[in-house]
């Protein structure tokens, strides 16, 4: 799936705080390869069809979105990249989530306010790391879990 057409208008660099995770998330769209362990929206478990890649998208406004895909649909966990803080484990960071984006193909069709967080580390450090996101809106919960393969990024 190509993420380059995602209508976020994304091009600028978001700064991570406290140096928790160097060079990630990076400018624009970056695809991380690995294994999707879980993708659940409300009572719908889309884990079986979840793709072996996740996109990290950084917008000109500093927003950061982690996008999971399954069955041609996408689920994005979005937060203000300026709010990234050091995680509870050394070398990890946490992005507060305030919006969940949904869509199909490369078009975002819906957004809903939600509260939660994504915890992550540098996926390119040569070893697998977890990117785990969870958030709740007034109507449902959203959960995604992904393990990177530790290989260098692919920019799209």
Q: pLDDT by residue for the chain (156 residues), tens digit each?
A: 333 333 222 222 223 333 335 567 766 788 899 999 999 999 999 999 999 999 999 988 889 999 999 988 999 999 999 899 988 888 899 999 999 998 887 777 889 999 999 999 988 888 899 999 999 999 999 999 999 998 876 555
> Based on C-alpha coordinates, what's the Rg of the chain?
14
- The residues that bridge with 32 in the sheet, in sequence order, are 54
Residue whose structure tokens are 């993420």: 3
CATH assignment of the domain containing 64: 2.40.128
Asked if residue 126 is part of any domain, the answer here is yes
Q: Does some domain include residue 13?
A: no
Report the candidate in 76, 72, 79, 93 with the shortest Cα–Cα distance to residue 19.
93
Across the chain, the runs of DSSP E, i.e. the strands, are: 28-41, 44-45, 53-58, 63-70, 73-80, 85-86, 92-104, 107-121, 130-136, 141-148, 154-155
In whole angstroms, give the CA distance from residue 54 to residue 147.
Answer: 9
Which residues form the domain of 144? 26-155
Q: Which residues contact 19 (CB under 8 A, 6 or more apart)?
A: none
Structural domain count, the chain = 1
48: in domain? yes
Asked if residue 124 is part of any domain, the answer here is yes
Q: Looking at the domain assignment, is residue 137 inside a domain?
A: yes
Nearest residue to 51 via CA among 64, 32, 25, 65 = 32
3 within some domain = no
**Residue 97: inside a domain, yes or no?**
yes
Task: Return the half-sphere exposure (C-beta side, CA atoms, 13 A cut-off) of residue 148.
Answer: 27
| C-alpha–C-alpha distance, residues 38 and 35, integer Å | 9
Q: Does 10 reside within a domain?
A: no
pTM higher than 0.85, yes or no?
no
Q: Is there a contact between 152 and 24 (Cβ–Cβ < 8 Å)? A: no
pLDDT the model gives residue 42: 92
pLDDT of residue 126: 84
């Amino acid at each position: 799936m190509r993420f380059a057409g995602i209508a976020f208008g994304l091009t600028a660099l978001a700064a991570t705080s406290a140096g928790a995770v160097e060079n990630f998330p990076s400018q624009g769209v970056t695809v991380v390869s690995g294994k999707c362990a879980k993708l659940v929206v409300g009572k719908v478990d889309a884990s079986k069809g979840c793709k072996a890649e996740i996109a990290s998208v950084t917008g000109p406004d500093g927003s950061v979105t982690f996008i999971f895909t399954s069955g041609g649909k996408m689920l994005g966990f979005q937060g203000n990249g300026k709010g990234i803080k050091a995680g509870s484990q050394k070398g990890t960071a946490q992005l507060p989530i305030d919006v969940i984006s949904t869509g199909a193909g490369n078009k975002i069709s819906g957004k809903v306010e939600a509260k939660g967080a994504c915890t992550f580390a540098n996926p390119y450090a040569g070893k697998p790391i977890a990117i785990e996101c969870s958030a709740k809106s007034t109507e449902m919960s959203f959960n995604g879990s992904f393990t990177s393969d530790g290989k260098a990024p692919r920019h799209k």
